[in-house]
Amino acid sequence: MNTSTEHQEPSLATALPRVPIWRHLCAMFYDLFLIIPLLMLTSALLIAIHGPTDTAVVRSVPAWQQWILTYLALVGFFGLFWRQKGQTLGMQAWRVKLVSRLSNAPVPWSHVFIRIGTAAAPVILALLPFLYFNINNASILVYAIAAIIAGMGFFWRWCNTERLYLHDQLSSTELRLAPPRTKK
């Protein structure tokens, strides 16, 4: 007799321990060294298409194109890594693994789109005040409000019982501590 509770494989989301926030931040910092050149490449591609300008005041590339290409580059970067091993290079270095909370299968593309979109949303919202205030002359209050808004997805971790980031909850994913690599 075979019941559904017999011999079930434990979910990776519960089998591995949770990642401490310091480890997650270190992995993010490490990945910045890969993401910044990628975004520079996307900007260079758009400038090659639209042509350069004589002055930095005049934009040759429409902002919406820059934002869309940036989003797609981030989805491609993170999506390829997360779909293969559940880890970017920075996450591998710091033993952070992205797992689906729904199954042991790789994180689906739809969840990658949701995770990146919801993680980026607070940062984009934080930039909105600078449409009205000069970024070089804004008051400390404007900077403080922008920083709080930018961190909302991370602050969410301390506002719910599961201790998940906002983008974790909305994308049904979770960061877990990967086991140490065995030396061969």
pTM listed for this prediction: 0.78
Q: Which residues contact 160 (CB under 8 A, 6 or more apart)?
A: 169
Mean pLDDT within 102-119: 91
* Rounded Cα–Cα distance for residues 49 and 52 (Å): 9
Q: Tell me, what's the pLDDT at 13?
A: 61
Q: What are the residue boundaries of the structural domains of the chain, listed by start? A: 12-177
Q: Tell me, what's the pLDDT at 12?
A: 63
Question: What is the three-state SS of 111-179?
Answer: HHHHHHHHHHHHHHHHHHHHHCCCCCCCCHHHHHHHHHHHCHHHHHHHCCCCCCCHHHHHHCEEEEECC
Give per-residue pLDDT as tens, 35-45: 999 999 999 99
Q: Which residues contact 130 (CB under 8 A, 6 or more apart)?
A: 138, 142, 146
Mean pLDDT within 57-70: 83
Beta-bridge mates of residue 99: 174
Closest alpha carbon to 119 in 169, 63, 69 = 169
Give per-residue pLDDT as tens, 3-34: 444 445 556 666 788 899 999 999 999 999 99
- Say whether pLDDT at 171 is over 90: yes
- Average pLDDT over the chain reads 85
